[in-house]
Structures are given as C-alpha cells and as structure tokens.
C-alpha cells in the first residue's frame, strides 16, 4: 500500500510539473486573444490624448481603448512608459497593446501590427515666437521633438537646418520650451493646443496636416486574434457614437472624418 501510495503521489507531482512546463512554453492567453485583462502601455504626460489624472490613465486614446476593450470583452490595466520604448515593449510582450496616438508608418509596421485606424495624425509647431508661421522657418533654431515620434521624423526629413533636440517625455519637452532651452516644439496638434490654452506665452504658430497617417492601437505582430477582436470593438464604438462623444470631450478642434461618424 505504501509503495502504491508513493507511486501515485510521484505520478501526480510529475503531472503537475509537466502541465506547468507546457503552460510556460506556449503563448500566453493574452497573446492568443483570450485573456480577460489586457496590459496596455501608454504615457502619462501627453494631454489630451494620453495622460494621468488623479492617478488614472485617461485621455482620448485611452478612454477610447477602454470602450473598445469592453466591447471586445476585456478589462484593461494601463502602465506608463516612454514613447520611444513603447513599440518595442509591445513586440517583446511586456504589453499586450500600445495606446498613445500612434501613427501607423511603414517603419513601425516592421515592429508591431496595428488595429484599424481610429484617428489621423496632425502635427504642429508650438512656440513663444509667433513669427514661425511655416515649418521651414525652424531652420537654424533649436527645436524640441519627442524621440521616435512622427514629429521627430518630419523635422529630420523636411527641415535639415533645424537643430533637433530629442526629449524622452512630453513633460521634459514642455519644460525646455518654457525655460528657453529650445525655440520651438514640433508636436501633435491636439497636445500643442492644450499647452497653448494653459500657457498664454505659447502659441500654435503653424499646423502641418499629415492626415495620410492614421492612428492605431499597437499589438504584437502575428497576434491576429486579439487584433480582430479589438477591430470589432472599435467598429462598435464608432457605430454607437462613443467615438464621437469622446472626440467632442477631449479633442473637439480636430476634424471628424465621415468614417468615424455614427451610422444611422
């Protein structure tokens, strides 16, 4: 009896160990699109798109994602990071999703996949110098950008004479602009408008429309099941008017393309 009992216990332990090993070797449930909670990488300092308020991550993109995730049957856990690290952290499974007004560029698609579009990219110049009415006038000036953003790429490609100063965060960039470390900042239009509204010394001196670049939520490449569920959720919140309600609350100055208007 004792021998049989010891053998049974040993077999049970071996079975548990094997099950644990198999669980560790396979894709996580989030990778397969089955987890009930999605870990979402975002920023805490880029209002009105993505920011923290009373310790809660909010803003247009994050509130939209919460609604999308709920429609798809998920809960959300938001975690702060730097924009320059975000896509790599989605790719290496630190996060299931990236939410941060991310423009879908060909270069970024080499690292992550994206949901269907939910907005478009507009960049602008924010400065104390109201004479900078054209991006070309940034030549010879010290210009802030957030590292790895569309503004960073735009400035390098279109204004080679600008002295590019790359910042890791929006808080550090706006501090540099306010204290005179930089002369201007090339940044997302909605964010620039929020800073200009809060600080009379700052103005959005020119807008650079780039609405051929759609925004999307980033997911790991090949995670098609999760991406499909999020797309279904996105289409549902557009159709029921949630997208438009959040737009009017957070980014009312941005044009509303017909594709994001509720369907009657």
Taking only the tens of pLDDT, the chain with its 264 residues reads: 434 434 443 444 344 333 333 333 333 445 544 579 999 999 999 999 999 999 999 999 999 999 999 999 999 999 999 999 999 999 999 999 999 999 999 999 999 999 999 999 999 999 999 999 999 999 999 999 999 999 999 999 999 999 999 999 999 999 999 999 999 999 999 999 999 999 999 999 999 866 579 999 999 999 999 999 999 999 999 999 999 999 999 999 888 999 999 986
User: What superfamily would CATH give domain 121-212?
Assistant: Periplasmic binding protein-like II (3.40.190.10)
Task: Give tens-digit pLDDT for 221-247.
Answer: 999 999 999 999 999 999 999 999 999
The answer for 157, left when phi > 0, alpha when psi is -120 to 50, beta otherwise, is alpha
Q: Do domains 37-118+216-260 and 121-212 have the same CATH topology?
A: yes
**Cα angle for residues 176, 180, 184 (degrees, 5° grid):** 70
**Cα angle for residues 54, 60, 63 (degrees, 5° grid):** 65
CATH classification (class only), 37-118+216-260: alpha beta
How many angstroms separate the CA atoms of 241 and 215, rounded? 19
Q: What DSSP line would sit under 190-228, residue for residue?
A: HHHHHHHHH-TT-EEEEEEEEEEEEE--EEETT-HHHHH
Take residue 80 and report the two structure tokens written for it. 């702060």
Report pTM: 0.86
Question: Within a 10 A sphere around the Cβ of 104, how many other Cβ atoms?
Answer: 20
The answer for 249, left when phi > 0, alpha when psi is -120 to 50, beta otherwise, is alpha
Task: Give tens-digit pLDDT for 109-141.
Answer: 999 999 999 999 999 999 999 999 999 999 999
28 touches 37 (CB < 8 A): no
How many angstroms separate the CA atoms of 164 and 148, rounded? 12
How many angstroms separate the CA atoms of 151 and 185, rounded? 9
Number of H helices, E strands in the chain: 8, 13
How many angstroms separate the CA atoms of 58 and 51, rounded? 6
In this prediction, residue 18 carries a pLDDT of 37
Boundaries of every domain in the chain: 37-118+216-260, 121-212
């Amino acid at each position: 009896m004792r021998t049989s009992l010891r053998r049974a216990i040993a077999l049970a332990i071996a079975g548990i160990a094997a099950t644990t090993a198999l669980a560790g070797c396979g894709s996580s449930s989030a990778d397969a699109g089955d987890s009930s909670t999605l870990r979402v990488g975002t920023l805490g300092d880029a209002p009105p798109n993505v920011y923290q308020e009373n310790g809660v991550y909010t803003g247009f993109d994050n509130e939209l994602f919460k609604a999308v995730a709920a429609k798809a049957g998920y809960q959300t856990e938001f975690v702060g990071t730097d924009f320059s690290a975000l896509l790599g952290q989605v790719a290496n499974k630190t996060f299931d999703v990236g939410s941060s007004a991310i423009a879908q560029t060909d270069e970024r698609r080499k690292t992550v996949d994206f949901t269907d579009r939910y907005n478009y990219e507009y960049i602008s110049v924010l400065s104390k110098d109201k004479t900078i009415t054209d991006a070309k006038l940034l030549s010879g000036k010290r210009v802030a950008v957030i590292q790895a953003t569309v503004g960073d790429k735009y400035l390098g490609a279109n204004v080679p004479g600008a002295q590019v100063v790359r910042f890791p965060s929006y808080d550090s960039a706006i501090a540099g602009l306010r204290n005179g470390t930089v002369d201007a900042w090339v940044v997302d239009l909605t964010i620039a408008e929020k800073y200009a509204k809060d600080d009379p010394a700052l103005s959005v001196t020119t807008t650079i429309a780039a609405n051929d670049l759609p925004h999307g939520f980033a997911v790991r490449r090949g995670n098609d099941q999760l991406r499909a569920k999020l797309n279904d959720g996105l289409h549902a919140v557009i159709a029921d008017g949630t997208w438009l309600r959040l737009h009017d609350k957070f980014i009312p100055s941005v044009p509303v393309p017909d594709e994001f208007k509720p369907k009657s």
